[in-house]
Amino acid sequence: MTAQQLLVIAMVALPAAAIPAVALPAWFGIRADERRINAIVAAAFGGATIAGLLLVGGMIASDSHRVVVAMGNWFEVGPHHFPWILIADRLSIPFALFSALLVGIIGAFSRRYMHRERGYRRFYLLLTVFGAGAQVVVLAGTLDILFFGWEVVGVASALLIAFFHERPNPIAHGLRAFATYRVCDVGLLIGAVWLHRSTGSGGMVVPGPAEAGWAGVGGSLGVLEATSIGLLLLWAAIGKSAQLPLGGWLPRAMEGPTPSSAIFYGAISVHLGAYLLLRAAPLLDQAPVAALAVTLIGAATALHATFVGRVQSDIKSALAYASMTQVGLIFVEIGLGFRILPLAHIVGHAAVRSLQILRSPSLLHDHHQLEQAMGRQLPKTGGHLERLVPTALQPWLYRHALERGYFDAMLTDYAVHYLFRGLRALDGADQAWTALISTAARPARNASPTRPQEAP
Amino acid sequence: MIALLPAVTAVAYFASALAVLRRRRAADARRAAVRHCALISAIGAAVTALSTERFVPANGMEMIPILMNLSALVAVALAPLATHQPATLARMLSIAACSQLCLATTAPGLIAVAWTVSAYIAWTELADHPEMRLASRVFAVFHTASSGFLISGAAALAAGLDVTGGTLALIGIGIRAAVLPGHSWFVPFCEVAPIGLMVVFVAPQLGIFAYFATAVGAVPHGVEALFVAAVAVTAIAAAGLGLVQVAARRAAAFVVIGQTALVVLGAASGSAVARAGALVTWQTLILAISGFAMAIAAAEARRGYLTLHDRGGGLAATPRLAMAVLLFGLACVGFPLTLGFAGEDLLIQGARFPDLAIIPVVVTAANGITVLRWFLHLFSGAPGDVGVRDLRAGEVAALTIAMALLLITGVAPRLVVSGIDPSSHSKSPHAGGLHAARAASGSSTGR
């Protein structure tokens, strides 16, 4: 194994190794020491960052475009095998490096922000789990490994949204985010299985040594197959990147601690959907319908979010919709066939948005300082929309924005409500059938829980 | 052929049951049961590590007796004293003995006898308590049918009637595995039975072993297809019903039904890769169900019957208990970093695409939401109960062993998967006639 390959492994292994280092003392009841926890996380992600920088330096020096680390089969049965492959190329390196750096910075920032907060160790454990998962997603050389990291990121994200569990809203919003992820992850997994059936593996197609492009999902697929798989991956990306019509979880996700909001919904997690689509670029090139869908979804989301963001009354919600807008634009860029532009957009957006979200608790203080320095009120911004949108349309648009485009209401009142109503009816019927078998009276409905017969 | 280790282990469990029954106090009985189970587990693990084929089941099932031992250990170690008197603990050990007896042989008759005895013992626990009358009645109806079908199937197989015997056995197995329409006993049983007893009865998933020993390759295509369809519907229905439950035990019951159905689906789908996935997921579920259910039992012992309306702030007061519920729950649904992830991958990749492959994807997605929903609701909220204690040392030790196994094999699934021969379990030892006919005609049910 070469030094560069070892560095790629280190970018994943160091954050992964920090997980048991933080979790095991918690399990065995060892008292949490903030300094020690912080040191572990800093060392892990600092080490991953340094490994990334050394890797970049090495690749530049050796003029290589990618490093592929094939670590053999994780397991195999008959014709099926699960290879563990990591790829560091022009797509994954900026992402991985930026992720490791940002998690390290957030870890350092949180040392004071979360100081003496109940759940300090839980916060850092979830941050570490998220960071490790993100590294796996970004450096994955197959869709199966990408799914592995994708799931880890999803759970960590949901648990951090629900961090302040004393209140009911964070719980509800964390569940909403997780449910959205799980529903959309179905697309990623089915797409991965389909790819296996069509190409014989879930691995990414790695360009030749002389080619500058990055590895991607694709291969020799028919148009219909490529379109179907592309749409499935788009469905997965919609959930993770909070695009229409399933973006309602993002502003609600701001219930979590500000540092995690910054890194998840400003920087890393919210861009993973776009990352998946960039990896699926060869597929989108073969499937114009899927590419068009990416473009339309992105454009609709950007329009929706830019209007809804303007009626938010709290800064974190406004920034959430601003993130949604930018990610929508990134989707448009990907759908239109750009590759380097969306990558640059992601990195720039992630940096700016993280900073904005980290500063958001100080927004009022910052405004006061600015106004005192200027000696007057800050000038109003964003007036270009008022000039563009006809006056007659503005009240309607305002109400539409206040209701967040009615997407949340439609999802809750129609899709979820009727589904749950049907399931409760089925549950009632099942309980009635069981009671009939036991020749007892019909039980009460499940909505009013009654304790069943219990052992003494 | 008799696998010696499970046979000897069964005798040890019966002896332990007798010893536990003699104790007067529940605490003494539990202490004795834990010691015995720990000793049996340790000796079993040592023998398995050093053994030859003569001692343990073969073809990827070598670990099953050890996992069942660990499941029993977790069940007795976390059994709440209030609901697990010496008689209940003795029944648990007896049921564990019957499970080991099933593993000790591939003779359908002996499997059917052990199967019936374990169901009878579980029923006696329900029948002993008047307040469990309804559940005991339903349990009796379905398990009488299940045992009847399995015994008839065993008799038919012994008489050389492969198709009839395999079909009858399959129906009996389906009822015990809670496959529609034979599922109605499962949820009431989980709701009222002492949770430790529920775990030792349900977690070993004996239906899988019985299927491989009696029915696989012995039933006609049409029957098999019908069975697969019933299992598929069961998995999806259970996943959906789990989402709308208000009571913790009912939600857990539906998660178990759904995940069990996936294992049965993999075993019955005909593909070697899916069968391997069924074996791996089976092994995961033995431990994961045990840990998940017993962690819920520990929470129940501290806070009473659990519903969605209870937000007792357990995360602050009992963080390790919360962590156990979450990790074991996620292991049940094939979360990465647990062995279940490898099992789910094999189940999905080995299933017929697209119809059967989509089912495990959707079911695990829904069950994952149920697990997290319950974790967040059970352990959120401001700390209410002062003085609620976290896991005891014995509870931590038992759960640590189970969790460590799930996580280590999750990081290195090769430890489990490499022992599986993909060509094995394609037919039961008794399915000679039908299987040969299929091979001669070149038709196959799977890949």
Q: What is the pLDDT of residues A116-138, one digit of tens each?
A: 988 899 999 999 999 999 999 99
The nearest alpha carbon in chain A to B363 belongs to A186
DSSP string, B107-142: -HHHHHHHHHHHHHHHHHHHHT-GGGHHHHHHHHHH
Binary contact (B372, A158; C-beta < 8 A): yes
Burial code (b: 16+ CB inside 10 Å, e: under 16) for B135-173 equals bbbbbbebbebbbbbbbbbbbbbeeebbbbbbbbbbbbb
Binary contact (A451, B313; C-beta < 8 A): no
Of the candidates B194, B246, B381, the beta carbon closest to that of A455 is on B194
Residue A78 C-alpha, separation from nearest chain B C-alpha, in angstroms: 6
Q: Do residues A67 and A59 lie in contact, with contact meaning Cβ atoms separated by under 8 Å?
A: yes
Set of chain A residues whose Cβ sits within 8 Å of the Cβ of B400: 27
Q: What is the pLDDT of residue A364?
A: 82
Cα(B323)–Cα(B304) distance, integer angstroms: 19
Q: Do residues B244 and A417 lie in contact, with contact meaning Cβ atoms separated by under 8 Å?
A: no
Cα(B75)–Cα(B395) distance, integer angstroms: 10
Q: What is the pLDDT of residue B323?
A: 93
A231 touching B (Cβ < 8 Å)? no
CA angle at residue B217 from B216 to B222, to 5 degrees?
100
**Cβ burial, residue B318 (10 Å; 0-12/13-18/19+):** buried
Of chain B residues 326-355, which have a CB less than 8 A from chain A?
A: 330, 335-337, 341-342, 345-346, 348-350, 353-354
Binary contact (A165, B357; C-beta < 8 A): no
Residue A83 parent element (H or E): strand A80-88
Cα(B215)–Cα(B376) distance, integer angstroms: 41
Binary contact (A77, B237; C-beta < 8 A): no
Q: Do residues B167 and B219 lie in contact, with contact meaning Cβ atoms separated by under 8 Å?
A: yes
pLDDT in tens, B57-102: 666 778 899 999 999 999 999 999 999 999 999 999 999 999 999 9
Residue A69 parent element (H or E): strand A67-77
Binary contact (A446, B422; C-beta < 8 A): no
Binary contact (B379, A165; C-beta < 8 A): yes
Mutation target among B137, B183, B372 for the A interface, most CBs of A within 10 A: B372
Set of chain B residues whose Cβ sits within 8 Å of the Cβ of A453: 129, 131-135, 191-192
Q: Residue A369 is encoded by which pair of tokens?
A: 């300082």
Set of chain A residues whose Cβ sits within 8 Å of the Cβ of B247: 446, 449, 452
Q: What is the pLDDT of residue B427?
A: 64
User: Phi and psi (nearest 5°) for A85?
Assistant: -125, 135
A164 touching B (Cβ < 8 Å)? no
Q: What is the pLDDT of residue B405?
A: 94
Q: What is the pLDDT of residue B445?
A: 36
Q: What is the pLDDT of residue A83?
A: 92
Q: Is B307 helix (H, G, I), strand (E, B) or coil?
A: strand
Q: What is the ipTM of this complex?
A: 0.91
Q: Quickly list H helices, B380-444.
A: 393-411, 414-417, 432-441
Binary contact (A437, B194; C-beta < 8 A): no
B193 touching A (Cβ < 8 Å)? yes
Please tell me the pTM assigned to this model. Answer: 0.91
Cα(B38)–Cα(A70) distance, integer angstroms: 41
Q: Is A79 helix (H, G, I), strand (E, B) or coil?
A: coil
Set of chain A residues whose Cβ sits within 8 Å of the Cβ of B241: 423, 426-427, 430
Residue A245 C-alpha, separation from nearest chain B C-alpha, in angstroms: 19
Q: What is the pLDDT of residue A443?
A: 45
Give every residue of chain A whose pLDDT is below 50, as ranges. Answer: 441-456
Distances in whole angstroms, Cα of residue A394 to Cα of each of A61, A317, A386, A408, B403: 57, 21, 8, 21, 58
Residue (of B186, B193, B228, B158) closest to B83 by Cα position: B193
Residue B410 C-alpha, separation from nearest chain A C-alpha, in angstroms: 10
A31 touching B (Cβ < 8 Å)? no
Binary contact (A151, B335; C-beta < 8 A): yes
pLDDT in tens, A57-74: 999 999 888 899 999 999
Q: What is the pLDDT of residue B152?
A: 95
Binned average pLDDT, 10 residues per bin, chain B of 447 residues: 86 96 93 95 88 64 89 94 94 96 88 94 94 90 94 92 90 93 94 95 89 80 91 96 93 95 89 90 94 92 83 80 94 94 94 89 96 91 72 90 94 88 65 44 37
Q: Residue A387 is encoded by which pair of tokens?
A: 């000039």
Q: What is the pLDDT of residue B438?
A: 43
The nearest alpha carbon in chain B to A453 belongs to B131
Q: What is the pLDDT of residue B316?
A: 79
